[in-house]
Each structure stands twice: as structure tokens, then as C-alpha cells.
Chains A and B, each alone.
Chain A
Amino acid sequence: MASDDAGGGPKGLAAFLALTVIVLVFAVATATAIGDYNIGLGTVFLSVTNELGLTGAEIAPIEQSVIWNLRLSRALVAALAGAGLALCGAILQALLRNALAEPFVLGVSAGASTGAVCVIVLGIGAGSLSLSLGAFAGAFAAFALVALLSNGATSGPNHTILAGVAASQLFNALTSYIVTTSGNAQQARDVMFWLLGSFGGVRWPDFQLLLAVVIVSFAVCIWMGRALDAFAFGDEDAAALGVPVGRVRLILFGVTALLTATIVSMVGAIGFVGLVVPHAARYVVGPLHLRLLPACAVVGAVFMVIADIVSRVVATQQTVPIGVVTALVGVPFFAIILYRARPQS
């Protein structure tokens, strides 16, 4: 008998994960190779092995610098952001028992926007670090409000979703208020660009921070993966199976808020990845979370890296905001989910 939480068996899952990781490596390499200044894939790989001290090939310093300092960090942050958002989506869809739940359902992105706008428009603090901190603070303020409105997240899925909608509306209104009363045209454009998401300007320290947050969050989620399965038939059913429902809920909401806030404060509010990827992954590996969560992480990473490539090549000489690309793919998918989820009668 299978030693894993069945479905297609552990071998099927391992093969799928291995395949997706290979695709991910090539996607990251491609993302590093292409741009205004194209570099060969072979050079990219050699440059990385050089930097890791494995090879000593001759590479032009300019290429080495572009690959290592600009593009590779960007591609890896994109991969981590995709993995993190997909993970959040899978967790929230399970906890809220709602197929349309996604990382921003808890009002986190709206809160982050307000925080960012306070920095950009009102000039609270200065410099790029304070922008991230502002976004992070706003994200957690929104999360705290949602947790408060839904009685510490113990009062059931619909209550939490309603609280999230209320918090989103409130923070979006605050953002609009600040922009219209205090901002000028240039600031409004900055805010707009930031809200739609961008990987421009991310560097190695961002990668290191995000890597740590993603690894910790992923470990917590896997640890609670079986408990998430028990939520399939509702909170009470999970409790009857021995799951400490209130505690699991609060910890996992906290993890998703931390992960989303970190990503949003780094690269803006990138929509639809968290919604689309868990559904796609479920088609392949089934609904059990010990299989679903790793699959979501790798598929989310691939999706985001490819979206980043598309955002850079679709329009000549400029970068389309990443949120535009993910939404253009995400909205048709969303429509399919809605169509499939319609009442059967």
C-alpha cells in the first residue's frame, strides 16, 4: 500500500515535482538570458557556476554583472513570490472553504497599498526601505482589523471573508482619499505602477529575506497539511477529527498574512497567481495538502517567472506591470472556475 497520502501515489508526485523543477530552472535561466541586452543560455549557466566557484570560465564583466546583479536576483525573487502567493491561495481556499479565496481576500494588499501610499504621497519616512516597511505595516494593520472583525478568526469562513471585504474597501478608500487630496500626477502614476506590481529593482537582500520567509511559511504549512485536509467538511468536522481548529486557523492566517505582506511590500500587489495556481495544481495532484502544497509552490514559481518574461518582452522598450500579465491570464481562468462552480440544477 502507498506510504503517502494516496491519489496518484508518491512516485507520480515526485515525477511531477522533478519535472516542474527542471522547467523552473530553465525558466529562470531564460528570464536571466533575455532582456534589452540578450545573453546566451550557456553563458548564463557558466556565469552562475563561476560565481559559485565551480568553474572558471571567461565571461565579459558586463555580462557577469548583468546576469548576477540584475537579472538572476530578479528571476529568483519572481519564483519565490509566485511560490509564496500560490501557497497562500491554497491555504486560504482550504481554510475558508471557498474556491475563490486568494491571498488578498484578507485585505492584506489593500492595507499594503495604503501603507505604501502614505510613504510615496505623504512622505512618511524616506527611501526605498521605508516604502517596504510602510507597505508591511499597512498589510498587518489590515490583517489585524480582519482578525478583530472575525473574532480572532474563529467565527467561520463567511464571516472572515466579509471582514476581509470590509477591510479591503476601507483601505482602498483611504488610499484613494490620500492620492486625490494630497498627490500630484507623478505620484499617482508611481502609486499605480506600484499597485500593479513590478520586479524592477529587487536585489539579493530582497531574495534572502523572501527566501527565509517562504521556507519558514512552507514548513509550517506542511506541518499542518493533514489538518488542512480535515477542513474539507467544515470546522466542526475538523474538530471532531482532533484538529484544534481555532489555533490552526489563527496560525495559518498569520502565516499567509506574513507571506503576503512580505511579497506585496517587495514587489507590489500581484493578483490572480494565488487564485489560479492552486486550482491548476489540484487538477494534477488532487486535493490532499501534503501533495498539493509542494505542487503549488513549484507551479506558482514557474508561472510567475514566465509571467515576468512575458511582461518584459510583450511590449518593445518597456516593461508591462506584472500584475497586468498575471491578470490577463488569470481572468479567463477565473471565468472557467465560475462556470464550473455554477449550481448543477
Chain B
Amino acid sequence: MSVVAESLEWGVRRKPIVRDVSLSVAPGETLGLIGPNGSGKSSLLRLLAGLKRPQSGGVRINGQDIAQVSRKALSRQVAFVQQSAATDTNITVHDVVRLGRMPHRSALAGWSETDEAAVASALMRVDMTSRRAQPWQTLSGGERQRVHIARALAQTPQVMFLDEPTNHLDIHHQIEILRMVRDLDLTSVIALHDLNLAAMFCDRIVVLEAGAVRACGTPTEVLTQTLLRDVFRVSAQVSASEDADRPHIRYRVE
């Protein structure tokens, strides 16, 4: 499914946070959203997922204006993974993933075989099947993030939005999660802080600066020394890795 945003504007009171953002994501593509703190990554992601309503402009998913679709219908196609969402509820892994079936069930409907299959396959995908009975509170940060992704997968979405899904994770789990998302057969948009990970796992990258799109293209096109200096205010050397499309960034301290 494609995601197309047209001149999105959103702000708090008089302060614009997202300014005139247009972008498009092709079906099956993994798009990286990068930018310094406060550049509007999270807000843009929420606008794209329909969790915030733009002040002007609009988002079309597979050609359909999401403002015209009900919350429930939208959540059957679109999943959203927050960064490190927490709860005090003493709930098991299995029950968290079962929540992902909510968009597909009516208020009192029973649990169908389709529901069970979706949950089982989502748990398998993130390698948490054997931990399904474990209480949420006993999971590590990486496991919690995997369970959140499993819940999003149980929604059987065609588009997935992830807000810094690798925050607070060690490097092994960061790479695991991003590889998993890349290998999924769906359109995904990921807000990321780590530029090298963005270069490794994203087909294309959008760079946000002060709420506006500064650059958009393949990692090689976008991640240049000039851009890193201007947008991120770092001095860095960008070298080609074995894969020509995946540049590698080495930061320098002056």
C-alpha cells in the first residue's frame, strides 16, 4: 500500500511543528525519517498514521483520504508502534498481542481461528512464542519492544509506522528489530536517530529540519557531508561501504 502526504501543516498554538510536508512512500518500501531533536519526526509520523489531524493538507493511504476513514477501519490497515510504551497493568505477553486483533473484532465477538492464527504468527515472527505466558513486567526493554511489534503485526496491517523503535536497546537488538521490520512484506515508515542504522535498513530517507523536508532520496543521495554539517551540526566523513547504496558515517571531533 502506498502512503502519500500532501502539504501537511500542524502546530501547537501559533508555533508550527510540521510545515508543508509532502512525501510519498511506495508499496513495500521502508522509509526512514531522520532529523535533529525537535525537528518534527514524531509529529509527522502521527499525522501520517492518522493519530493527529493536520491543520491543512492530507494523507492518502492506498489512494484513500484517511480523514474520511473511521478510526477502527484505519487501524485494520495501519499499525503504529510507539517508542517504549509502558503500563502498570499486570498483563501477559499473549494478552498484549491479542489486543492487536481489536480492530478486527466487534465489541463482544468471540475469538476466531483467524485471530488466533494472526497472534501465533506475530509471536513467532518476533521469536516470543515460548514467552507468551510471561507477565509484561518481567520483560526486558528489547523484549517489550518486540512484543509491541508483534501486537502491531497481529493487526495484520499493510502499513506500519514506528517511532524510534530501537530507542534504549543495545546494538544487537537495534539491528534485530530493524532487520525484522525491513524483511516484513509491508510498507513501513520509521523515525530513527541513528544515521548509520537508517543508511543500513532504509530504502529511502527523508530528512526533516525545523518541521520541513530538507532532503529526500536514497541513503547515498541524502547522507552527505554538507547535509550532516548543516542539519545535524556535526562534522563527519561519509564513506561507501561494500554496498554502494549504503553509505557509512564516521563522526569527527574537532
- The chain A residues found within 8 Å of chain B, CB to CB, are 1-7, 97, 99, 222-227, 229-230, 232-234, 236-237, 239-244, 282, 286-288, 341
Binary CB contact string for chain B from 90 to 129 against chain A (1 if under 8 A, 0 otherwise): 1110111011101101011011010010000000000000
Establish whether residues A6 and B98, one from each chain, have CB atoms under 8 Å apart when the complex forms: yes
Give the distance to chain B from A183, nearest Cβ to Cβ, in Å: 43
Given contacts A226-B107, A234-B85, A242-B102, contact A288 B71 (CB under 8 A): no
Q: Which single member of B91, B107, B113, B116 contacts A223 (CB below 8 Å)?
A: B107
Complex Cα spacing A227 to B89, Å: 15
Q: Are A242 and B76 in contact (CB under 8 A)?
A: yes
B253 to chain A, nearest CB (A): 34
- On whether the beta carbons of B86 and A241 are closer than 8 Å, the reply is no
Q: Are B79 and A240 in contact (CB under 8 A)?
A: yes
With A2-B111, A226-B105, A287-B90 in contact, is A7–B95 under 8 Å at CB? yes
Q: Which residues of A contact B87 (CB under 8 A)?
A: 97, 232-234
The reply on B82 being an interface residue by CB < 8 A is yes
| B74 and A242 form a contact (CB under 8 A) | yes
Provide the bound-state CA to CA distance between A43 and B231, in Å: 85
Chain A residues in 8 Å Cβ range of B201: none
Contacts of A226 in B (CB 8 A): 102, 105, 107
A233: B residues at CB distance < 8 A: 82, 85-87
- The reply to whether B85 and A241 form a contact with Cβ atoms under 8 Å apart is no
Q: Please name all residues of chain B whose beta carbon is closer than 8 Å to the beta carbon of A230 when the two chains form the complex.
A: 99, 102
The answer for the CA separation of A97 and B79 in the assembled complex, in Å, is: 22
A229–B95 Cα distance when bound, in Å, is 10
Closest to A247 in B: B71
When A and B form their complex, which 10 residue pairs have the shortest distance between CB atoms, in order from nearest?
A: A242-B75, A242-B72, A240-B80, A242-B103, A233-B85, A232-B89, A232-B87, A3-B110, A287-B89, A241-B102
B82 touches A243 (CB 8 A): no
Contact for B98 among A5, A242, A287, CB less than 8 A: A5
Q: Is the CB of A236 within 8 A of B105?
A: no
Which residue of the partner chain B has the closest CB to A287? B89
Chain B residues lying within 8 Å of A222, measured Cβ to Cβ, are 108
**Can you sample 7 A-B contacts with CB below 8 Å?**
A230-B99, A230-B102, A232-B99, A234-B82, A236-B82, A241-B99, A243-B72
* Shortest CB distance A197–B (Å): 30
Chain B positions near chain A (C-beta within 8 angstroms): 46, 49, 51, 71-76, 79-80, 82, 85-92, 94-96, 98-100, 102-103, 105, 107-108, 110-111, 113, 116, 155
Give the distance in Å from the alpha carbon of A222 to the alpha carbon of B108 in the complex: 8
Chain A minimum-CB-distance residue to B75: A242
Q: A1-B116, A99-B88 are in contact. Are A237 and B95 (CB under 8 A)?
A: no
Chain B residues with Cβ under 8 A from A234's Cβ? 82, 85, 87
- Residues A240 and B108 in contact, CB atoms below 8 Å apart: no
Select which of A223, A241, A244 is within 8 A of B108 by beta carbon: A223
Partner of A240, one of B49, B86, B95, B105: B49
Given contacts A6-B94, A227-B102, A244-B71, 20 further A-B contacts (CB under 8 A): A4-B111, A5-B98, A5-B111, A6-B95, A7-B95, A223-B108, A226-B102, A226-B105, A226-B107, A229-B99, A236-B46, A239-B71, A240-B51, A240-B80, A240-B82, A241-B99, A241-B100, A242-B72, A287-B91, A288-B91
Distance between Cα atoms of A7 and B111 in the complex (Å): 13
Q: Which residues of chain B have C-beta atoms less than 8 A from A224's C-beta?
A: 107
| Chain B residues positioned under 8 Å from A240 (CB to CB) | 49, 51, 75, 79-80, 82
In the assembled complex, how far is the CB of residue A221 from the closest CB belonging to chain B, in whole angstroms? Answer: 11
Shortest distance from the beta carbon of A48 to any chain B beta carbon, whole Å: 33
Give A245's nearest chain B residue, CB to CB.
Answer: B71
In the assembly, what is the distance between CA of A341 and CA of B82, in Å?
24
> Could you tell me the distance between the alpha carbons of A99 and B102 in the complex, rounded to whole angstroms?
24
* Contact with A3, one of B49, B103, B111 (Cβ below 8 angstroms): B111
Contacts of B82 in A (CB 8 A): 233-234, 236-237, 240
Residues on B with beta carbons closer than 8 Å to the beta carbon of A227: 102, 107
Q: Name the distance in Å between A236's Cβ and chain B's nearest Cβ.
A: 6
Chain B contacts for A243, CB-based, 8 A? 71-72, 102
* Bound complex: CA A3 to CA B91 (Å): 18
For A3, the closest partner residue in chain B by CB is: B110
Please state if A239 and B107 are interface contacts (CB–CB under 8 Å). no
- Chain B contacts of A225 at CB under 8 A? 107
Contact of B85 among A7, A99, A237 (CB under 8 A): A237
- Chain B: CB-nearest residue to A94: B89
What are the residues of chain A within 8 A of B89 when measuring CB–CB? 232, 287
CA distance A4 to B46 in the complex (A): 33
CA distance A99 to B88 in the complex (A): 8
Pick from A222, A241, A288 the residue with the most CB of B within 10 Å. Answer: A241
Give Cα distance in the complex from A6 to B132, angstroms. Answer: 12
On chain B, the residues within 8 Å of A282 by CB distance are 90
Q: Do the beta carbons of B91 and A232 come within 8 Å of each other?
A: yes
Q: Roughly how many angstroms separate A236 CA and B42 CA in the complex, as a whole number?
A: 13
B30 shortest CB reach to chain A, Å: 19
Kindly provide the distance from the CB of A295 to the nearest chain B CB, expressed in whole angstroms: 15
